[in-house]
Amino acid sequence: MKKNIKKYSILFAAATLLFAGCKKDYGDLNNATIQDLSKNASQSELNNLVSGTESGMRNGLNFYLDDVSIIGREGYRFSGSEPRYVLDLLGANSATLSGSNFYITFPWAARYAVVKNCNILIQAANNSTLISSAQKKGYIGFARTIKAYQLLLNLNLTYTKGIRVDVANPDHLGPFLTYTNSLAAITALLDSAKSDFSGASISFPLAGFAGLDDAAGLTQFNRALAARVSVYQKNWQPALDNLNASFFSLTKNFNTGVFHVFGTGSGDQLNPVFIPQNQSGEQRVAHPTFATDIEAGDDRLGKATLRTSPAALSGLSSDRDVWIYTSSTAPVGIIRNEELILIYAEANIQLNNFVEGVKAINVIRNGHGLGNYAGAVTQPALITEMLKQRRYSLFFEGHRWIDMRRYDLLGTLPIDRTGDDVWTEFPLPVTEQ
């Protein structure tokens, strides 16, 4: 019997050993994972990350544009099922902005998801042995540029509350930086991306970068964003320097630039800011002052078309639909030449180069059916004119509120109902506090 037991024990031990060799890790069968891509990503996987980044930039875009445009009194968003557009955002009665509501949590999270994707792209490109170093620079330069842009959009919302810039490790997130330091960090990111692009080879397809999809074009896009940040920082000469390195031109089409694009393909997105004209129920309408403040003959009045019947909700009304995004696949601008011309005007006015400033303003005016600027050629007058041109040229593209804040003019925005407020900034999302 002892002998037998020995035999069985050996057998059993053998079976156990056999069995112990049988461990499995199936991985994620349904999706690619960050872990997979971080190891040694192929060019096509990196390209997928680029397209995913571009695609993700569109998520929650409507919330951002509505937030900025409603507080900047460019328009209203009337919705039967969502009263907070006309209550919280306009500060009706005692309503205030809350850090737990969709208008901050959705766009904020969507931007940081793209930042995360950019960080994954940087890590994946760095760890990949399957691409050349020139290609690597291209991916990293793109990722840093987009990351900077996404951070800037969130900073526009939270302003002095700041943003987290270092978010590479989800378990150890960096601190919130002040507004000034946040802008400096964004500038630094853009600058490092610019040096990535020198000698870079772009081996990925881009959507919405017509004519700007090579290393030179991406550098120009990067500098265009840098120019915008420079004017936010009141760094007027660097703004002009950045413009010179961008696709800025006083003679080129206003709509040269980079856009979010949309499509009807499976898994693609439709323009979330598009609402048909004369719609009832869900409406995006222009603030009444848009039409009353405009100069006669300005073709930009077409950005807000007359409704067949006025829209009204909660003591607010408007007879004009916002009509910039005219189809469900119409593009939404990220940055375009018209803004760069206005930055050129602004920087020159601030540097007291009034000739160049007026020249740029006239390019805009003439481009929209107006005669040359005839007002006083003084810095305050030109700033007022520049801001007015920005208001109409960049209508509903997410600028008015920020411009008014930059020039400390929020108090001049119209109040439609007694007790309404013009907010300076959004609170941080509660889950960040």
Minimum gap (Å) between residue 251 Cβ and other proteins = 29
Q: Which is nearer to other proteins, 60 or 75 (CB)?
A: 60
4 part of the interface to other proteins, by CB under 8 A? yes
Which positions from 6 to 25 touch other proteins by CB under 8 A, shown as an x/- string? Answer: --x--xx--xx-xxx-xxxx
Out of 73, 77, 116, 161, point to the residue binding other proteins (CB under 8 A): 116
* 31 scored as a contact of other proteins (CB under 8 A): yes
Give the count of beta carbons closer than 10 Å to the beta carbon of residue 120: 19
Within a 13 Å sphere around the CA of 105, how many CA atoms are in the beta-carbon half? 10
Q: Determine the Cα–Cα distance for residues 387 and 400; give it in Å rounded to an integer.
A: 8
Say how far apart CA 157 and CA 134 lie, in whole Å.
Answer: 36
Residue 54 in contact with other proteins, rule: CB under 8 A: yes
User: Among residues 275 and 361, whose Cβ is nearest to other proteins?
Assistant: 275
Q: Among 165-173, 280-288, 352-360, 405-413, which window interacts with other proteins (CB under 8 A)? A: 165-173
Provide the β-strand partners of residue 415: none
Whole-angstrom distance, CA of residue 125 vs CA of residue 134: 11
Q: What is the CA 211 to chain-centroid distance, rounded?
A: 20
What φ, ψ does residue 300 adopt, rounded to 5°?
-70, -5
> In the complex with other proteins, which residue's Cβ is closer, 22 or 355?
22
Near other proteins by CB under 8 A, which window of 115-123, 271-279, 288-296, 375-383?
115-123
Q: Does position 47 bind other proteins by CB under 8 A? A: yes
Q: Which of residues 187-216 bind other proteins (CB under 8 A)?
A: 205, 207-208
Burial class for 252, CB neighbours closer than 10 Å (0-12, 13-18, 19+): middle
- Sheet of 283-286, strand order: 75-78, 283-286, 316-322, 304-313
Token output for 379: 């810095």
Sole binder of other proteins in the list 28, 282, 293, 299 (CB under 8 A): 28
CB atoms within 10 A of CB 276: 12
Given candidates 170, 251, 280, 309, which one binds other proteins under the rule CB under 8 A?
170
Binding mask 226-265 for other proteins (x = CB under 8 A): -----------------------------------x-x-x
For other proteins, how many residues bind (rule: CB under 8 A)?
A: 67
Window 308-347: contact mask with other proteins (x via CB under 8 A): ----------------------------------------
Degrees, nearest 5: CA angle 107-111-116:
145
Q: Which is nearer to other proteins, 13 or 415 (CB)?
A: 13
Place of tokens 């090579």: 214
In the complex, least distance from residue 164 CB atom to other proteins, rounded to whole angstroms: 5
Three-class DSSP category at 309: strand
Residue 32 as a binder of other proteins (CB under 8 A): the answer is yes
Count of beta carbons in the 10 Å neighbourhood of residue 345: 29
Of the candidates 363, 348, 396, 390, the residue with the CA atom closest to the CA atom of residue 252? 363
d(CA 277, CA 328): 12
Which residues of this protein are in contact with other proteins, per CB under 8 A? 1, 4-5, 8, 11-12, 15-16, 18-20, 22-35, 37, 45, 47-56, 58, 105, 108-109, 112-117, 119-120, 163-164, 167, 170, 173, 205, 207-208, 261, 263, 265-269, 429, 431-432
